[in-house]
Structure 1
Amino acid sequence: MKEITVKKITCGLPSAEDVSKLMDVASVGFNPIDVVNWKDFPYCPDVKFRVAHTGEAILINYRVTEESVRAIAPADQGRVWEDSCCEFFVRAEGEDEYYNFECNCVGTLLVNFGKKGDRHHAPESILANIKRWSSLGREPFEERIGKCSWELSLVIPTTSLFNHDIKDLSGITLRGNFYKCGDLLQTPHFLSWSPIDLPQPCFHCPEFFGKLFFEK
């Protein structure tokens, strides 16, 4: 099981566009999303992420280089996993229910909560409060063939963990995993940060989440 100490950055609630700069200043390092769990899907684009927190929000910065890029999902809570998509799944220690924050390369989000096989959409107000920034802009587009590098940043307030009452992340431990997928790209792929031991592609597997230690 992999582990990360999530560095605390002292600041207010930043804009998503400022996340990368804040992490640079705070020397927050990158982690690869490079585990190919299923031999039928061997393609491994160059994907990395870094994560920090402010106490009241989780900050995530993804950087991706892949052979094609796609952003067709027209609106939040759509089929973003079929696009070029980065994902963050997280749960409290000892619980079966978990949140999934799935975001395509232009910042279109899918957020659900519940147990595996019994998922429920987050309220619209929750999605409205999650800040997103993408180097590719925010407009949908058809698949573009050819090498593309892009960056995505998210600011996820503690209120986004809407089935829990977390006022301050400082000092707590959560379980989570980070993914990169693209189900309908010319070369489908399913990468994870923490390894998954299942026979077929599936990210909804909280038993394989790693540990996230949030600095005080």
Structure 2
Amino acid sequence: MSMKKLVANQLPEAYSTLEAVKSYLSTQETFHSISEVNWRKDFPYAPLVSFQIAWSKEGLYLYYRVEEKHIKAVHTSYNEPVYKDSCVEMFISPLGNEEYYNFEFNCIGNILAGKKLRDEKARFTEQELSFIETLSSLPKGKTIDNQAGGRWDLTIFIPSWLIQKEELKQGELLKANFYKCGDALTPSHYLSWSPINTSKPSFHQPQFFGEVILN
């Protein structure tokens, strides 16, 4: 099983709002596919999911676009189980840091996030989460249960200090994986960017993280 690698380009300084970032990232030619169906026997469904990633000294920018059979979001408060909704995720670990950080977002931009060190887990506080910015193509804060399915996208900014970095720098190497899931969707599914070799669905597997190089 080969580890995935990608290059994340620095965001031009002109793009200072999430709306501008979305416009910039959505028009890039090459997208990264979240298409590894690691547990195909029990969860064969694979929605169409891809993402873009960029960085600045201040943090990471993500743009996900999704097409799926069932779009659902019932969780509207911080640190609720958004993985049960239409959900995209990034787990990331700065190289040489034993901690990794999980950032999980439902399709309306609500957040569950935390960090893990060895066997200890801790959630970010609501105050910390308030510094993460999201921009959804769906109405923010409004629940949705669309069983006809369709398309949606989500743009995200994560400050560098939330992953224990004063600032990000060109040439840095980060370990990460990117996911799409929906535990309570019809059909439920679990996809990853870099493949995972476990018997049951589990995204908390840093040994299978791929590499992100900041260009």
Q: TM-score range by the shorter chain?
A: over 0.9
- Distance (Å, rounded) in 1 between the aligned partners of 2:20 and 2:153: 12
Identical residues among aligned pairs (%) = 35
Superposed CA deviations along residues 41-64 of structure 1, whole A, max 9, x for unmatched, are 000000000101122221100000
Q: Which residue of 2 aligns with 1:29?
A: 30
- How far has the Cα of 1:24 moved from its partner? 4.8
Q: 2:205 matched to which residue of 1?
A: 205
Contact 1:116 1:204 in 2 (8 A): no
**TM-score normalised to structure 2 length:** 0.93
Cα distance, 1:68 vs. partner?
0.7
Q: Mapping of 1:150-169 within 5 angstroms?
A: 150-161=152-163, 164-169=164-169
Matched, 1:16 2:21: no
Shift of 1:142: 4.2
C-alpha RMSD of the superposition: 1.6
Structure 2: stretches of 5+ with no match in the other structure: none
- Paired residue type of 2:131: N
Structure 1: how far apart are the matches of 2:23 and 2:107?
19
For 1:172, the aligned partner's letter is E
1:17-96 equivalent positions in 2, closer than 5 A: 17-24=19-26, 27=28, 29-38=30-39, 39-96=41-98
Name the amino acid aligned to 1:139: G
What's 1:2 paired with? 4
1:173 is aligned to 173
Give, in whole Å, the separation in 2 of the partners of 1:165 and 1:52: 16
The Cα of 1:140 is off from its aligned counterpart by 3.5
Amino acid at match of 1:33: I
Structure 2 Cα separation of the partners of residues 43 and 133 of structure 1? 26
Show structure 1 runs of 4+ deviating over 6 A.
Answer: none
CA shift digits 1:126-161 (9 cap, x unpaired): 211111000012124242101210010001111222
- Would you say how many aligned residue pairs link Structure 1 and Structure 2? 212
Name which of structure 1's ranges 142-151 and 16-25 shifts more when overlaid on structure 2: 16-25
Structure 1 gap segments, 5+ residues each: none
| Distance in 1, Cα, partners of 2:19 & 2:55 | 15
Which SS does the other structure have where 1:146 is aligned? coil
